[in-house]
Amino acid sequence: MFLLIIAILGIVIGIIFSNILSAPDEKLVYTKLTTFFNNLKDDIKIDYWKNLLEILKNNFLYLGCILIFGISIIGLVLNNFILFFKSFILGFSIGGIISIYLYQGLILSFVYVFPSLIINLLLYLIAVYYANMFSLNLFDVLFRKKSFNFPPFIKRYFKIFGILACLLFISSLLETFLTPFLLKLFSFLIK
């Protein structure tokens, strides 16, 4: 529940932040978003493989950081920050699209985040949950002197992260190939 609240707060604060930008920053966001959507609308050729490599690099970097931070006590703070940051970026994107395209932006932002970015957020929620559980168990062993059988927990921990990595790979494929296609379908909303 705590992690879900962090994610929701990140999205809400991202949406709010995108609407209170200074004029130069707002113009920069406007330029980037309109260029992106106009390129899709004008059917500018997309380098899918370059995008896939970039998306995979970013997604696995975050997942790897969550995995590594989870096996330390400091991961309790850092992993929650990563989850907030990813949620904030999602909210900022939604807020930026809606502020530029208004009512049409509602549909565009939904198409932009569905399904890949929502799947990513859910996968990061699961990853942070298991990483925090590992950090809490480590804290109990080190500071409260509780006994804990680590080998099966570590095995399950890495198995879960392996599954999450596979799902994140599939989500990255969706983000690379499906999202631009869906956005092109709804490009008639872009004026």
Burial string for 121-158 (b: 16+ CB within 10 Å, else e) reads: bebbbbbbbbbbebbebbeeeeeeeeeeeeeeeeeebe
How many H helices and E strands in the chain? 7, 0
Q: Give the pLDDT band of residue 191 (cuts 50, 70, 90).
A: low
Mean pLDDT of 25-54: 86
**What CA–CA distance (Å, rounded) separates 12 from 128?**
19
**63-117: per-residue pLDDT in tens?**
999 999 999 889 899 999 999 999 999 999 999 999 888 888 889 899 989 889 9
* pTM greater than 0.95: no
Residue 65: predicted pLDDT: 97
**131-190: per-residue pLDDT in tens?**
999 999 888 888 888 887 888 889 999 999 999 999 999 999 999 999 988 888 887 777
**9-34: per-residue pLDDT in tens?**
999 999 999 988 888 888 888 888 88
